[in-house]
Amino acid sequence: MSKLPRQSSENQKSTLRHLRQLSHLLDNAIPIPGTPYRFGLDPILGLLPGGGDFLSTIFSAYIVFKAAQIGISRSLLQQMVLNILVDTLSGTVPFLGDLVDVAWKANVKNIKLLEEHWDVPQAPQKTDWWFLVLLLGGLFLIMMVVVAISVTILGWLVGIISRLF
C-alpha cells in the first residue's frame, strides 16, 4: 500500500503553525465590533452560491491533507472530515447555512483535534494514501451534491422572488 511521506519534526511544527494561520483566516480573522465574536472568510465565501462552498471545502480539505502528512490517525482524519461535512451540509441553506458556519467553525475544531494529537505522546502513523484519497474523494463527492442542492435552492428562491415582482 502506498503511504504518504511523513514530515520531519521541524517541518511538522512549521506545518502546524501554517495550518493555525489558515484556520484563523477562515474562521476567526474578522472581529464583530462591540462583541467578543469573530468570523472569517469561510462564511463570506459561503455567500457565493455553490462556488463559495466549493472553495471553503478545498481549504478545509487542505488542512486534512496536511494533518495526514503529519501522521495523525485514521479516526482523527475521519473526525476532521465529519466537521467539514457538517459545515458543508449546513451550507445548502442559503444565508442560514452561513450563520451556522460562523458558529460551527470546522477549521478551528480541526486544528484543535490536530493540537490534541500533537500534545499526546504517541508514534506518528503513516496514513495510507488510498484511505486519504477515498476520504477526501467522498468529501468532494458530497460537496458536489451540496453545491447542486445550493444552486437548486437558489434558483427556486429567485423564481419565487421573480414571480412576486
pLDDT at 96 over 90: no
C-beta of residue 69 within 8 angstroms of C-beta of residue 15: yes
> What average pLDDT score do residues 77-101 get?
85
Q: How many CB atoms lie within 10 A of CB 78?
A: 13
Give the integer Cα–Cα distance in Å for 69 and 50: 29
Burial of 32 (0-12, 13-18, 19+ CB in 10 A): exposed
Kindly indicate the confidence band of residue 31, based on its pLDDT and cuts at 50, 70 and 90: very high
| C-alpha triplet 15, 113, 32: angle, nearest 5° | 85
C-beta of residue 83 within 8 angstroms of C-beta of residue 77: no
> What average pLDDT score do residues 118-147 get?
81
Kindly indicate the confidence band of residue 1, based on its pLDDT and cuts at 50, 70 and 90: very low
> What average pLDDT score do residues 84-89 get?
88
pLDDT of res. 121 = 59
